[in-house]
Amino acid sequence: QICRHDHEKIREVISLFQIKEGSNILDVGTGTGILLPYLSNAVGLSGHVTAIDSSGAMILQARQKNPFENVEFIAQDVFSAPLAHDFDFIFCYGVFPHFEDKAAAVNHFSALLKKGGTLVILHSESREKINLLHRGLSSAVSGDQLPDLATVREYFEAAGLTAVCTKDDSSIFLAAATADHF
């Protein structure tokens, strides 16, 4: 209820990655499924989107709002879920600050990508706005901060990923990297 999602901005960012029909995508922390209409459309009927969230209530809402044939819903922690290691894209929209160990999260996601796959960390607000918002909320999230781009690049490098697109300005936070491993 307190989050605002700029759908035009989301559409533009997703189009940057030129997702091909038939792609396999993981939407981490899908919440109510904000990205699902865009991702489902991009991969087409021959593609697959796995929407995962640790909250069963969020998955229920996402499923109700997004009854797409090419989307699978999983109510489980992404770090313990038995996921395939062959994703073309992994999207972390609005969720990255909430990972306790962000470097370990990037390592985990790197291992789930196929060679040439892309990890995308995205917020439709700036890092400054996200961190200010979190600091003003309950103690459950007040310490959940989005690191600066230099730190995220270090996480990428340590995980064998190559940064391909980074931006943090007054309107958006975007950090994307491709997998060079295997």
- How high is the pLDDT of residue 68? 97
Contacts for 65 with CB less than 8 Å, ≥ 6 apart: 32, 33, 36
Kindly give the interhelix angle for 36-43 and 7-16, rounded to the nearest 10 degrees.
30
pLDDT digits (tens, 9 = 90+) for 46-80: 999 999 999 999 999 999 999 999 999 999 999 99
pLDDT tens per residue, range 78-122? 999 999 889 999 999 989 988 999 999 999 999 999 999 999 999
10 Å CB burial of residue 118 (0-12, 13-18, 19+) is buried
| DSSP assigned state of 141 | T
Task: Kindly report the pTM of this predicted structure.
Answer: 0.92
Best CA proximity match to 176, nearest among 17, 56, 2: 17
- In angstroms, the CA 35 to CA 13 distance is 11
